[in-house]
Amino acid sequence: MTEETKAVETANSNSVSLDSFFGVKAGMTRIFDEAGNHVPVTVIKLIPNHITQVKTSDKDGYEAYQVGYYEKKEALVVKPTKGHLAKANVENNYVKFAEIRLDSVDASKLGSQVSVDTFTADSYVDITGTTKGKGFQGVMKRHNFQGGPGAHGSKFHRTTGSIGNRATPGRVWKNKKMPGHMGCDKQTIQNIKVVEVNTEKGYMLVKGSIPGSKNGFVKVSKALKK
């Protein structure tokens, strides 16, 4: 057995396959399939993910793996986080953490790297991201209101209009569609087709668009409805 084969076997034994992993939205491009059809795709950069904590029902009340991702310089990582990573035998300087809940967990997987081998081409995934922030917006852009007349004599163009109900109940109902902050919402797109997975170059191609801005973090999970 060569040293290269031993290294590959050691890497595989120290990895674990989960139903989800975290990546970075690198942007969009297009490819052409075998029939010559134009296919718009989103590029997801594959970044290292490690299990940094194992949650058990006896200690925490539920079963889950805590996954660390997004590395920074060691000088930018606070001491409590360094201690947390050292306890899990993880050398990467992660600063973001998230939990993936499962029916059962294995404490021996602590410190293992999350593998993406189970995500293959032509499979389907659900992708969760944070939508682009649009700032403070009015009701026409935020809620697709029609607006008022565009004539010069009208003084009602893009405003909200009446929001009250006379003296009874004499208040604005909760969840009334009003101007306010738009975007920066957690959103999940289901049943997105995986076009290509290249672990050597560290990218995944999925068909169409996904939530979030460029260089934003996304959670890729196996499709629940497929």
Same domain, 54 and 124: yes
> What span, in angstroms and rounded, lies between the C-alpha atoms of 117 and 120?
7
Please report, to the nearest 10 degrees, the dihedral formed by the alpha carbons of residues 162, 166, 169, 174 taken in order.
Answer: 0
- Give the chain's length: 226
**Cα–Cα–Cα angle for 68, 43, 38, nearest 5°?**
160
Grade residue 13 by pLDDT with cuts at 50, 70 and 90. Answer: low
> What span, in angstroms and rounded, lies between the C-alpha atoms of 158 and 161?
9
Same domain, 102 and 211: yes
pLDDT tens for 75-85 read 999 999 999 99
Mean pLDDT, residues 49-58 taken together: 94
Q: Identify the pLDDT of residue 166.
A: 81
Same domain, 21 and 103: yes
Cβ proximity of 21 and 199 under 8 Å: no
Cβ proximity of 113 and 49 under 8 Å: yes
Same domain, 129 and 143: no
Q: Identify the pLDDT of residue 9.
A: 37
Alpha carbon separation from 3 to 9, 57, 109 (Å, rounded): 10, 40, 24
- 22 DSSP β-pair partners: 219
pLDDT tens for 161-174 read 888 878 888 888 89
Same domain, 171 and 207: no
* Residue corresponding to tokens 């290292």: 48
**Structural domains counted in the chain:** 2
Same domain, 201 and 124: yes
Instruction: For the chain, give the mean pLDDT.
Output: 91
Q: What is the CATH number of the domain that holds 68?
A: 2.40.30.10
Range of the domain at 178: 138-182
> What span, in angstroms and rounded, lies between the C-alpha atoms of 119 and 17?
10
Same domain, 197 and 177: no
Mean pLDDT, residues 182-208 taken together: 95
How much of the chain exceeds pLDDT 70, in percent?
Answer: 94
Q: Identify the pLDDT of residue 12.
A: 46
- What are 26's two structure tokens? 């690198």
Alpha carbon separation from 49 to 29, 110, 167 (Å, rounded): 25, 12, 57
pLDDT tens for 90-109 read 999 999 999 999 999 999 99
In a domain, 35, yes or no: yes
